[in-house]
Amino acid sequence: MVARPGRAITGAARLWVGRAQPNRHWHGRRPGGVYVLVLGVALMVTIIGLSALLAVRVELRAVNNTEQTAKADFYAQSAIDLAMFKLAADSSWRTTYTNDTWVPLPTSGNGTCSFKLVDELDGNLANDPTQPVRVYGKAAIGEAVRIYSVQLDPIVYPTLLTNGDMETPNRGWFAVQATLTYDASQAHGGSKSLQIKNRSSLAGGVAQDITASIENGATYSFELWAKMDSRLGEIKLEIGTVDSASGTQRFGGSAGWVGTSWTKLTKSITPSWSGTLSSAAVYVSSRWVTTAFRIDDAVVVKQVSGGSLVPVAGSWRREVLP
């Protein structure tokens, strides 16, 4: 039924109009609900995006840390190789470097490398060329730090002497203008020492032939323990050679003053000749006095150089960072 102008709305029409009012109110609130829904979805997408970005950053940082660690690991081990190369090229490395002191190495990029040498026996690199040394290699790349180490042992050549401990009478040694006595009443090591007495001149002493084992131009460390029977004396340690071109030569000389207590003497000697070698011997005598003296625990060994160091199997280790 259509209402005509000016006429009142009937009850049925009024009922229809009253029921239609709530629908108009609902349509009015719908845009606000959709806005809230869209805002919630946008917020959720933003959170997911930020979480993904954070995850990517964490992953990139982990990858970067892994790369830095791998580089530090490689460079630390390379530092040991470089240190060994330096030692091989420097025969005086025991005095060149200071015990337990880091030495920087050239690097590329933003990392640093260094090495150090440690004498684990007595903390002194220079006092004994036969002692082992531990070499450390360290590298720092960003936040990653690695340290490795390995023990290096010098190649110790055998002594050229026979009966250097003086324990076997009448073996190896012979007298030069003197009398030899293997004396069991005094010894530095073992049970006997060799006494050189009745010296008829300053050249009077003791000697031993080493013709079969000496090398032309090699450097030898001549060491022994000595003591005078009385008063102070200056002991000479020498290597003598006879060859077809140069004739008779003596290398070495005074090794130090000795009193009536056992004293260690060391002399570095480099004998050389140009002709055919016919004989070579070590000589022990004294200067200024012909007083009797004693010797014990003698060695003559070819000196080791930087290149005579070898890594010890099983000694390689990764160090705990300080």
* Whole-prediction pTM: 0.60
**pLDDT-wise least confident of 27-31, 116-120, 220-224, 273-277:** 27-31
Q: What Rg do the C-alpha atoms of the chain give, in angstroms?
A: 45
pLDDT for 1? 44
**pLDDT-wise least confident of 40-49, 141-150, 206-215, 262-271:** 40-49
Start-to-end CA span in the chain (Å): 99
pLDDT for 110? 78
Across the chain, mean pLDDT equals 86
| Tens digit of each residue's pLDDT (9 = 90 or more) over 286-316 | 999 999 999 999 999 998 765 578 999 999 9
Can you spell out the DSSP letters for 226-273? Answer: EEESSS-EEEEEEEEEEETTTEEEEEEEEEEEE-SS-EEEEEEE----
pLDDT for 267? 95
Helix (H) or strand (E) holding 193: strand 193-197
| Tens digit of each residue's pLDDT (9 = 90 or more) over 119-169 | 999 999 988 878 899 999 999 998 899 999 999 998 888 999 999 999 999
| Tens digit of each residue's pLDDT (9 = 90 or more) over 90-112 | 888 999 999 999 999 987 677 89
User: What is the pairing mode between strands 112-118 and 293-302?
Assistant: unpaired
What lies within 8 Å, CB to CB, of 139 at 6+ separation is 71, 72, 73, 74, 75, 76, 78, 79, 107, 111, 112, 113, 145, 146
Tell me the backbone φ, ψ of residue 221, rounded to 5 degrees: -100, 115
pLDDT for 57? 58
